[in-house]
Structure formats: C-alpha cells, structure tokens
C-alpha cells in the first residue's frame, strides 16, 4: 500500500516551523508496519492544494493530510477537498453542536467564524477529534483515500493513533497484529547500542523482529518492531529477545515503553512512601519541572530550590552537603543536588561544565562528578538527565558512577 503525507500551511512551507508533524506521522506509521512513500508540502493556496490533492490521488492508495482545518480564511482543506471531489460543503449539525457545547462548558460563546470548522464535503466520512474544534474527515480523490487531520500536534497525534492508523490498516487489508517494544536508555550512543546488541539471532530472520534506534539526546530509544499472527504469537516471539536486550543494555535502561525516567523515580519514591527535595543551579528548574507535574507528585515532591550563586569551584562533596542540608531543611526523606561549574567564555561546541551530583537520604550521602561538553544547551540538558539518572540508580540499588558515553574524564581547560 502506497501511503503519502501531505502537509499544508504557509508556516511549514516557508520553513518558519520545522515540520515535526511530518516526522511524527512517518515514524508512527513505520512503528505499525506501514511505510510512507511520498511527502508533499504546500501552502495555504487554493491552486496548489487542489493540484497536490489530485497528484497524490493519482500516485497513492492513502493520503494523510495535515493542517488547514482551522477557523480562519487561510484554512482551506475542507473547501479544496470538496472541490476535488466535485461536491458541495455541507454543515455538520453534529459538529456544530459539539463545538457549541465545548465552548459552553468553558463558559465561553463560540465565535461566529468557528462555524467554518463544521463545514465538510458532502461525501465525507467523519473522523472524530476528541480534544479540539478541528473536525477530521475522509474522502476519496482519484484512487486514494484521503484522511484529514488538524495541524495542532496534540490533536493530530491522538487522532493518528486512534482514528487514522486503524483505518489505514483496514484499507491495506493488514491482518495480524504488530507491537513496538521500546527501551529508553541514557548514557550510550546509537553506535554503541548497536554493538551491544549485535548478533542477536532473532534480528536476522526475515520478517521477524526488526531492530531500530532513535536518538533524541540525551536519551536513546531502542525499538523492536514485531509482527505476529495474534497477541500470543507476538509474546512468544518477543519474550526471549526482550530478555536478551534487557540483559545487554542493563543498567543503562532507564525506562520501557510509555515509562519515563522521572516517572520511574516518582513511582519508586511513592511506593516506599518517601519524599524528595531538589536543589539545582544551571539547570534552572528543569529537573524539578520533570518531576513536579507528575500525578501523585503532591505527596512526594517537597521543595525545589534554584540557585544562581556559584561560589567558585564546586565539588561532589559540596553537592552531597547541599543535598544533606536541603533534606534537613525541607524534612524530605531524599534530596538531590545538581550543581555545576561552567567553563568560561561564550557558548561554543566545546563549551563544557563539571557537574557535581549529591544525593542524601536516611542512610547517608552519595555523590558523583562528570564533565560534559557540547555547548550550553547540550550541557544543561545532559546534566538534568544525569542528575535524575543518578537518583534512579541510587533508588534501585545500582551503581551511580557508571561511565557514560557523553562524559569526558579529562579536566576542564581552565584547570
């Protein structure tokens, strides 16, 4: 089955917005065993849209259209879809009612121009958008089924998983089931992970389990895409491979599937009835911001402190002492300190920092030091992850001082 993605909108066409919707859609399709064959980007322009719909309708079996479903005059997807189908636009009373109610629930009156969002091609199949006012729909143009989704990422993502992908699988007559098993690691790069997993027999079999990686610094995602006749077949294929991957990637696995590093930490603390405080400097609230919003954090997260006062050099002992002080002050059972000493001078690819991490709990203190380089943002993001990973390792009884790939152990240039 030939699937295309057609992205609309001047902000995407002009490069003002980087097209992450495209890459999200393409990756999600690949995860479920569907391949994207062609991508098109056009602006909020009637003639281009019509031509793009017609050409894609000639080439493809299915086309996911993203964007152009908003309430303003430059949102043209419904109008042009109707034109391509040779049908009029008709008002969906159902969607008008849904939008009106949605506004009413929030105590607001729906603006008049939102009516445009309920105008669908007369022949359209309705595709639900449970969290927005942009209504999805499907029509056939040429030989392809076109599925229309909104440009707002959270709406698109939900509709893609719940509405679009099931329709594509049905269209393609794809039976069997697929599963994507994911491992999230911190501290190993893609090539090293590839080496660590080399020679696993199951990856060599045609049509068996497909291994893939996706690096999004500072984490690496290792993906096992499996296709099977049914759930039992999936499990049978996956279980031994999963166990082998877990063994090989070992302590570097911070989370699996939908889990997150911060979620694992929060779960562990909550389970044990423990509480946490955090003091951080250059990470500027980013560590606390990973934990504080989590469900149940109210009972666990006691206090966060962001400090900019860096008094000369810092050491792992300083960090451990800061953690112990904060633990005492806040009354939390655990405290994490992530302090940093930044290189001098302007931002540059070699800009680095020495990161000192301290953890205090009822049994005492642990600490770790690491040097990261790669520019201010790179270092900030890496330091937040390293701090959280040390806490995870400590909570799980793993070594906190295992060397990571991003780390340099040579002294900073100023030393």
Chain residues 104-133 in contact with a second copy, contact rule CB under 8 A: 105-108, 111, 113-114, 131
- Alpha carbon separation from 119 to 80, 133, 183 (Å, rounded): 12, 12, 43
DSSP string, 353-380: EEEEEEEEETTEEEEEEEEEES-HHHHH
- Which 309-368 positions form the footprint of a second copy (CB under 8 A)? 309-310, 347, 349-350
| Chosen residue from 91, 104, 170, 215 binding a second copy by CB under 8 A | 215
Q: How far is the CB of 162 from a second copy (least distance, A)?
A: 15
Neighbouring residues of 162: CB distance < 8 A, sequence distance ≥ 6: 128, 130
User: Measured from the CB atom, is 179 or 366 closer to a second copy?
Assistant: 179
Q: Which two tokens stand for residue 37?
A: 């064959």
Q: Is 284 exposed, middle or buried (0-12, 13-18, 19+ CB in 10 A)?
A: middle
Q: Does 213 bind a second copy (CB under 8 A)?
A: yes
Among the listed ranges 41-49, 155-163, 250-258, 392-400, the one in contact with a second copy (CB under 8 A) is 41-49
For a second copy, give the closer residue by CB, 167 or 376: 376
Q: Which of residues 76, 168, 291, 353 is near a second copy by CB under 8 A?
A: 291
Separation between Cα atoms, residue 332 and residue 381, nearest integer Å: 25
- Residue 212 contacts a second copy per CB under 8 A: yes
Q: How many CB atoms lie within 10 A of CB 81?
A: 26
Residues 53-92 that bind a second copy (CB under 8 A): 55, 59, 70-74
403 binds a second copy (CB under 8 A): no
Exposed (0-12), middle (13-18) or buried (19+): which is 205, by Cβ within 10 Å?
exposed
Sign (positive or negative) of CA dihedral 121, 122, 123, 126: positive
* Closer residue to a second copy (CB): 43 or 267: 43
Residue 278 · residue 329 · CB < 8 Å: no
Query: Looking at beta carbons only, is 101 or 122 nearer to a second copy?
Result: 101
- Residues in the chain, total: 415
The count of chain residues that interact with a second copy, using the rule CB under 8 A, is 96
Mark the segment that binds a second copy (CB under 8 A) among 26-34, 88-96, 158-166, 357-365: 26-34
State which of residues 145, 184, 302, 392 lies at the interface with a second copy (CB under 8 A). 302
Q: How far is residue 389's CA from residue 265's CA, in Å, rounded to a whole number?
A: 9
Binding of a second copy by 284 (CB under 8 A): yes
Closest to a second copy by CB, 295 vs 415, is 295
- 155 versus 389: smaller Cβ distance to a second copy: 155
40 binds a second copy (CB under 8 A): yes
Q: Residue 249 or residue 366: which is nearer to a second copy going by CB?
A: 249
Backbone Cα Rg of the chain: 26
Q: Is 270 in the site for a second copy (CB under 8 A)?
A: no
């Amino acid at each position: 089955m030939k699937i295309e993605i057609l992205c609309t909108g001047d902000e995407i066409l002009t490069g003002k917005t980087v097209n992450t919707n495209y890459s999200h859609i393409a990756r999600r399709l690949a995860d479920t065993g569907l391949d994207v064959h062609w991508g098109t980007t056009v602006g909020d322009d009637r003639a281009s849209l019509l031509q793009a719909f017609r050409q894609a309708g000639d080439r493809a079996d299915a086309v996911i259209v993203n964007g152009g479903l908003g309430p303003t005059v430059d949102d043209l997807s419904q109008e042009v879809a109707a034109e391509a189908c040779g049908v009029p636009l008709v008002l969906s009373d159902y969607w008008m009612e849904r939008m009106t109610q949605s506004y009413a629930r929030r105590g607001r009156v729906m603006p008049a121009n939102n009516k445009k969002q309920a105008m669908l091609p007369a022949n359209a199949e309705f595709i639900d958008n449970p969290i927005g006012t942009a209504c999805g729909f499907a029509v056939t143009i040429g030989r392809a089924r076109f599925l229309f989704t909104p440009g707002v990422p959270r709406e698109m993502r939900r509709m893609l998983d719940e509405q679009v992908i099931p329709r594509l699988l049905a269209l393609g007559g794809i039976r069997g089931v697929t599963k994507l098993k994911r491992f999230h690691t911190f501290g190993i790069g893609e090539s090293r992970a590839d080496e660590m997993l080399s020679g696993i027999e199951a990856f060599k079999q045609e049509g068996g389990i497909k291994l893939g990686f996706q690096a999004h610094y500072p984490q690496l995602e290792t993906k096992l895409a499996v296709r099977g006749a049914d759930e039992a077949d999936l499990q049978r294929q996956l279980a031994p491979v999963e166990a082998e991957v877990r063994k090989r990637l070992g302590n570097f696995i911070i989370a699996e599937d939908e889990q997150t590093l911060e979620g694992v930490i929060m779960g562990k603390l909550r389970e044990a009835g423990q509480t946490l405080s955090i003091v951080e400097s250059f990470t500027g609230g980013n560590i606390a911001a990973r934990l504080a919003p989590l469900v149940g954090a109210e009972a666990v997260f006691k206090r966060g402190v962001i400090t900019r006062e860096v008094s000369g050099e810092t050491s792992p002992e300083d960090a451990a002492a800061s953690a112990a002080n904060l633990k005492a002050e806040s009354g939390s059972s655990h405290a994490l300190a992530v302090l940093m000493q930044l290189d001098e001078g302007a931002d540059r690819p070699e800009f680095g920092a020495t990161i000192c991490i301290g953890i205090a709990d009822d049994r005492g203190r642990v600490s770790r030091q690491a040097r990261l380089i790669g520019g201010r943002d790179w270092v900030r993001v890496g330091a937040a992850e390293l701090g959280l990973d040390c806490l995870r390792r400590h909570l799980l009884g793993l070594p906190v001082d295992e060397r990571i790939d991003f780390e340099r152990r040579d002294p900073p240039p100023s030393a």
